Every structure is written in structure tokens, then in C-alpha cells.
Amino acid sequence: MAEQTYSWAYSLVDSSQVSTFLISILLIVYGSFRSLNMDFENQDKEKDSSGSPGSFNGNSTNNSIQTIDSTQALFLPIGASVSLLVMFFFFDSVQVVFTICTAVLATIAFAFLLLPMCQYLTRPCSPQNKISFGCCGRFTAAELLSFSLSVMLVLIWVLTGHWLLMDALAMGLCVAMIAFVRLPSLKVSCLLLSGLLIYDVFWVFFSAYIFNSNVMVKVATQPADNPLDVLSRKLHLGPNVGRDVPRLSLPGKLVFPSSTGSHFSMLGIGDIVMPGLLLCFVLRYDNYKKQANSDSCGTPGPGNISGRMQKVSYFHCTLIGYFVGLLTATVASRIHRAAQPALLYLVPFTLLPLLTMAYLKGDLRRMWSEPFHSKSSSSRFLEV
């Protein structure tokens, strides 16, 4: 009986999907903590420049950070739909430009992913002084090393088209977007994720009835011409120059081969980044609330909430919901043997537990609209 149960479970979730689960969760956690760490660094800079004690502010004023407002949250699914249609109808015309732009963005994002490791490696042997490159700016040795490694990885990916290198670039894009894009409130989070849920469901389930093809799946799986091949044909460099390079599957997704090698498990980076933005928001709110409670000498929560409930963080609750939603989406895709809109499962399993817990803890009204405001605090650590 145990062997039959194991066989049934393995038929629903194989090793490639387990890899997808683990990698996506690690990317969200890592990106969220990189975002929180950036807030702390900005706080230290503001404190050093003003000479006054800093305070945690979940809505950082760093110019490199983009905060999504309500209008942007409403129009983002529309913009994504327009981009999807452009890629569907005019892919052959724009594929080279799109590939080059994606490679440039992936290079910068992967350099950001490698930066902490490079800082650790260069700390003993080089000072943290910045080196001037004229109009290009000033960079530390760690930044130069991470950028060089990232350029090298992209060049190898262009030459080989290997799925593992594509996954590495997609991971960099996920972490960078989670770290540099912010949701300011629960209201904006609900608007964004609800709109993207409708977008995902429509383009996966209903686009075939209008366009005679699953638009989402076709765009996600369609390989692009290699820029080296296109360049060799344009410049007439000869039949043996640049013609043996493979077509490229763009890093807009994570793919992992099954144990038998018969198929790949695929998860779009949007299914990681968008829930990841929500998890980043609740992590910042957990830290803000912890600092506020320490300032008020540990004021307890509402009387009808048990101490155990108060100890459960919003980050843990939402992360568990993400895992359950991803598992449900995977099981549904194996049962129906067809692509599933992952956000159809991820959005309810992350938002509904979060809203319920916020209501029970009495934080729903504060989280709903602009929950962060300056409070002096000396605590800078969040136990997760």
C-alpha cells in the first residue's frame, strides 16, 4: 500500500517539479531579504548624512527602486497583454531586438545576483574604494568582478543555448525585480495580483478560442534566432561563420528536465516575481511592526488573539501559501495534462491567508493603505 501511494505521488510531482518548487521559493526568500537589506543600507546612508538616528521606512526613497501605485497596478495587466500580442503576431520581426534587450537586462540582473559573493571574495584582498571609468561612473572591484562574470555567462549562453545558463539568467532577473520593485500597500497588492490572475487565466484558457492557439504557451516556448547567426547572414560572413550556433530559448522562465529526460518542467518568472513582491511587502511590514512594538515596549495585540497567533509572521504565512498554491498548480497540470495558469492557484493561496491573518491580528486597516511611516527604532533584525 505504501509503495502504491508513493508511486501515485511521484506520478503527480516528479524531480523536475520539486526542483522548480525549491528554486522558486529560494529566489523569493533571497530577493525579499536583499530588498530589506537595501532598505537598511539606505537608512544607514540617511543617518550618516543627517547625523540623526535612522528609522525603518518600508517605502524607500532610493531612486533605483520603483514603487508601483494603484494606477500602474491596474494598467500593468493591460500592458502585459499588449506585449504578449506583439510577441505573438510580430515575433519574427522583433525577435532579434527582443533577444538583445533581454540579454542586456539579464547581464545587469545576474551581476546584481553575484554581487554579494564577489564582495565577500574581494574584501580580504582589495579596498572598497571605487574606480573611476569617466562618464561610465565609479565602481568597486566587487561590482566589476560581478559584471565581468555576468557578461561571460551571457556570452556562453549565446554560444551554447544551454538551459542551465538560461535558468541562471532567469534567476538573476527574478531576484533583481523582487529587490527593486516595491508594493506600497495591501490594496495595491490586491489590485495587481487580481488583475494578473485574470490576465493569466484569459491568455492560458481562453486565447485559443479567439486566436486558434494558446498565446501564452506559444510565446513562452518559442525559440528566437541567435543574434550571431543573424549577424553572420546580414554581413555575408560565409556559410561556416556563426551558422552553427543554436536558437535561443529566452530567460523568461525556469525550466528543469525530468529524471527521464522526456520533458521539461516550466515556470514563468512572472509566477515567481509577482507573488514574490507580495512576500517582500509582508517581510518589510513584519520588520516594521517588530520595530514599532519594540518602541512601545512590547505592547500586546488585540485581546482576542492568542499569543501563538501573534508570533506567526505574515511572511511565514504567505510563503506557506505560495508553496501550497504552487503544489496545487503542479498537480492540476499533471491531472489535466495541459498548461495551467499558475496565478489562478498562487493568488488565492497567498492573498486569502494573508487577509485573514491581518484581520484576526487587527492589522488589516493599517496594511490596506500606506502602512509604513517613520518611527525611530534601533532594532534592525527580523527572525525568520
pLDDT at 381: 42
Give Cβ neighbours of residue 159 (< 8 Å, ≥ 6 apart).
228, 245
Longest dimension (CA), the chain: 78
Write the DSSP symbol of residue 203. Answer: I
- Single out the residue of 185, 184, 166, 186 nearest to residue 174, CA to CA: 166
- Whether the per-residue pLDDT at 304 is higher than 80: the answer is no
Active-site residues: which are they? Answer: 200, 271
Q: What is the pLDDT of residues 249-280, one digit of tens each?
A: 888 889 888 766 666 788 899 999 999 999 99
User: Torsion-angle region of residue 381: left (phi > 0), alpha (psi -120 to 50) or beta?
Assistant: beta
pTM of the model: 0.86
Mean pLDDT of the region 140-168: 92
- Residue whose grid cell is 525611530: 376
Q: How far apart are CA 79 and CA 50, in angstroms?
A: 40
Q: How far apart are CA 278 and CA 104, in angstroms?
A: 26
- Whether the per-residue pLDDT at 146 is higher than 90: the answer is yes
pLDDT at 358: 92
C-alpha cell at 76: 500593468
Mean pLDDT of the region 4-25: 65
Q: How far apart are CA 13 and CA 317, in angstroms?
A: 23
pLDDT at 306: 54
Assess contact for 94 and 224: CB atoms under 8 A: no
Q: What is the pLDDT of residues 75-95, one digit of tens each?
A: 999 999 999 999 999 988 888
Q: Helices 15-50 and 163-180 meet at what angle, rounded to 10?
A: 40
Mean pLDDT of the region 201-213: 91
- Whether the per-residue pLDDT at 299 is higher than 90: the answer is no
Domain residue spans in the chain?
A: 15-40+65-126+135-267
* Residue-averaged pLDDT of the chain: 82
Helices (H), 202-342: 207-211, 215-221, 227-234, 270-295, 307-311, 314-336
C-alpha cell at 239: 556559410
pLDDT at 180: 94
Mean pLDDT of the region 141-154: 93
